[in-house]
Structure 1
């Protein structure tokens, strides 16, 4: 694979001079953990359904990473080859990224909710060489799905399966974690000759947008670490903390702050593969977790289960909540039940966390704002012409940050970054007099459901293929728990009908991820439109909120 992170070179000198880019990789930090505290607990991974628990010291985790790295090399994986995986949170996820980093391969995490429709595009676009999947996860046969896709993916050479139990030629553990590959005579050379530099692409992560196809976000060690360092400093996190992560590690949230940050801090990580608020509360207590980060529904669920059971989580100091505004009553409830500081934040796959409140800020700021910029980050709110707006006026939010991504894979025309390094986030916001921001809407046509972006244009395009659909608009409607849900507003073709079950079955037949399927259908004779015929989605959203649609 030839990567084109065109946005990195222009800001390298300034980022290094300002101390934001440390010119380190995750290899340096993992090696430092082994050298400094080899027998300290590094990682604990829990599987909710099986009850399995695996624990690793830094010495053991590094040895496992080396083992998998040499095993991947034996399979022909080398520098800049893409290793895609659709694994849930777990020790294999962490070890696989660390292994790829040893040999210069690029990890492409894919959400377990993705189905054939999303996967076929992403695997082809990324030119994935290896695809790692669970045999079955949450009642979905991922192995069968992957094998069904392989025939149409010319670059995909191997599918590796976790948990199949067969020990066959594609069994992940039989190939990569059981043999002691790290003891082979040529292992030292394999583990050192292709290690990536700090500006090489190390992570490829797809994000939904308005273009009708997912975009492959390219990050280097420098861009990722330039965010994690000030993030941890603002939250006063260090090696004595225990990071609990139940947010998917195939999202930037879980990847940066549940996988990379603990290694960089030398802190212990605790992973949970399937969200279960009762289990989460139990693990926070038993593992003495002090920090976690997740979207609003996770905070709601955890605070409710703790309040209902009366069993507290006394070690939890901070819960960082992002992905949707935090309702005021929820902050009050969570503070009372969890006893933790609730921190609001805003960020994107393209740059990680951009703004967050400070630990000493009044709790009201977690409700009223999305925080202030991290060190190394500049934000401004501009009008349509690019002129900066005064505090209180809503406009486009643009960001210039040391953690900005390297660009979109094979789509530099979509990088949305001007000559001065300002990235147009596609979000609308306003600033306060003291430099905090508040996201006030999204200019990009995406619905944020429980922290998960729903690719509206893509879903609409699929629905237009339905023989009964003449017009369709997918818009958000508010939801107390998830922040937003999706509603499809459809005009049916003459003589045709469509109902919710028919719409849902049609999208399932297109192999769409289940959370992307609209959860409400409204059929109308016409949609509000401009004189030129453009659908006025803002009117549909208003009508949904007011109950007049």
Structure 2
């Protein structure tokens, strides 16, 4: 029980409705092996090895054998049920093998973005009492073993540091793949109950300490089912995985999704657009999940004469998709990019189906996926009329189990509704549009400025490549708005330019920003979300004394 929310009752309801299937990761993997043992499961590319050919190709039978061996090795190290294993790797095959091996022995994978450093890891590893961590020897010039070794005196629970590409005693190959320990096949595994924590993912919040979001295999399989059905994914699909596995989109919507479908997973560890598009074309990629900049980059490569990949579906989340990007994708690839709204606590909440992507993705963030209910209401859960902006609440089969070691932060009531923190409105067909954040709004003279709408207008400017609106204090008005924009060229962009564009767009004058700042690139967190609190600090200079 957490503030009235009964997790056991929720689990019973999800099972009774058929949304929770009680399948473990082993069930997914074994089904794929049985169906097509010789089929390619993983095709892995690494920048440091050259993107002209994969560094590893694994069939489903080979993946199954690798998972069995890794599970045996981890158990021999003393890793068991409930122990947390940090996975601080790029999108390498070793990540997939270790994640599935950990789940086989009841341990809990904790994906960690490879861009984290001492400050984040000191808290995350200590709070989770992480027992083992898997890291690269080096990635993008950073010495990961030295970093972790420096932290170990502060991490008494950390018994094992496993290093990919290390030939020494801590090497992944030696400790995990060639340890001599007896493999553990799926039939001899001890996975967690499908309703118990099977992954720990820290929120990528823009302020404050991160919270550990707990998901089980049931919530993740429900997500894979909902997305797979909406997209029409089958075992014939080739999933292009460049979105980091250290984030829920990469972990669940790509890694788990590909195994759930029994498809092929193509890994690229560093996003380089030209190389990525070439790999997609070479490997026959048909499905991808990534943020808007990836889709824009792909279109840019194709427009410049690059090969046209056979992408059939594209899940686009994290930020609204500019209409120009949607149109370019349709014209250049024949692709309908599907907008999605989701968060760590709820995985995928809404999605636009491909058949209506061209019509709906530019103006909405999709409609509720299977097993999810969405509600636009006030802070007291009183429903608001169609088209009126309010808090976005959600509940259902994809909802998290709670916050690790912090039940008091989970404010769900008896009916299970969770406040997403987003503001949104809903149209007559049930499609939602995110219209700001409940904690990130600009209120000028008592009137809410539609931040997301104004940002979308700025995005449509031909010279603007990125945009964000934040408020700064004003004694008379309460707040005023500052626009931060990144530009495609070095020419000046003044307030006069901004006002002219706002007027041309038809936006109400009371919504126009009163200040503009040119920025080389937006500060973003590990999930790619703009850290607006940093922009607010910069905008504070405009506040009158």
C-alpha distance after superposition, 1:10-65 (max 9, x if no partner): 21121111110001111011112222211111111110221252011111001000
C-alpha distance after superposition, 1:200-253 (max 9, x if no partner): 211000013377100000000111111110110110001011111100011111
Residue 484 of structure 2 corresponds to which residue in structure 1?
Answer: 477
What CA distance in whole angstroms lies between the structure 1 residues aligned with 2:439 and 2:165?
Answer: 39
1:147 alignment partner, one of 143, 146, 149: 149
What CA distance in whole angstroms lies between the structure 1 residues aligned with 2:255 and 2:356?
Answer: 27
RMSD between aligned residues: 2.9
Residue 19 of structure 2 corresponds to which residue in structure 1?
Answer: 20
- What are the residue-to-residue correspondences of 1:284-299 with 2, within 5 Å? 284-299=280-295
Give the superposition deviation at 1:444.
Answer: 3.7
Mean Cα deviation higher: 264-273 or 204-213: 204-213
What CA distance in whole angstroms lies between the structure 2 residues aligned with 1:360 and 1:33?
Answer: 28
Q: 1:369 to 1:87 in 2, by over 3 A?
A: same
Residue 226 of structure 2 corresponds to which residue in structure 1?
Answer: 230
What CA distance in whole angstroms lies between the structure 2 residues aligned with 1:304 and 1:525?
Answer: 37
C-alpha distance after superposition, 1:136-170 (max 9, x if no partner): 11111111111111110111111111123xx2221
Question: Equivalent residue of 2:67, what SS?
Answer: helix
What CA distance in whole angstroms lies between the structure 1 residues aligned with 2:85 and 2:227?
Answer: 28
Give the superposition deviation at 1:310.
Answer: 4.3
Question: Equivalent residue of 1:298, what SS?
Answer: helix
What CA distance in whole angstroms lies between the structure 2 residues aligned with 1:377 and 1:520?
Answer: 34
Give the superposition deviation at 1:338.
Answer: 2.1
Give the superposition deviation at 1:135.
Answer: 1.2
Residue 258 of structure 1 corresponds to which residue in structure 2?
Answer: 254
1:201 alignment partner, one of 169, 174, 197: 197
Residue 317 of structure 2 corresponds to which residue in structure 1?
Answer: 322
Q: 1:210 to 1:250 in 2, by over 3 A?
A: closer
Residue 495 of structure 1 corresponds to which residue in structure 2?
Answer: none
C-alpha distance after superposition, 1:251-288 (max 9, x if no partner): 11111122111111111111110111111111111110
What CA distance in whole angstroms lies between the structure 2 residues aligned with 1:21 and 1:274?
Answer: 35
Give the superposition deviation at 1:474.
Answer: 13
Give TM-score scaled by structure 1 length.
0.80
Q: 1:528 to 1:62 in 2, by over 3 A?
A: farther
5+ residue gaps, structure 2 = 442-450, 456-479, 489-522
What CA distance in whole angstroms lies between the structure 1 residues aligned with 2:263 and 2:136?
Answer: 27
Give TM-score scaled by structure 2 length.
0.80
1:88 alignment partner, one of 81, 87, 90: 90
8 Å Cα contact 1:102/1:191 also seen in 2? no
Q: 1:103 to 1:362 in 2, by over 3 A?
A: closer
Mean Cα deviation higher: 223-232 or 382-391: 382-391
Mean Cα deviation higher: 234-243 or 205-214: 205-214
Aligned residues: 466
Q: 1:362 to 1:211 in 2, by over 3 A?
A: closer
Question: Equivalent residue of 1:49, what SS?
Answer: helix
5+ residue gaps, structure 1 = 1-5, 450-472, 482-506, 508-512, 530-549
8 Å Cα contact 2:274/2:306 also seen in 1? no
Question: Equivalent residue of 1:198, what SS?
Answer: coil
Q: 1:273 to 1:341 in 2, by over 3 A?
A: same
1:312 alignment partner, one of 296, 308, 312: 308
**Is residue 2:385 matched to residue 1:390?**
yes
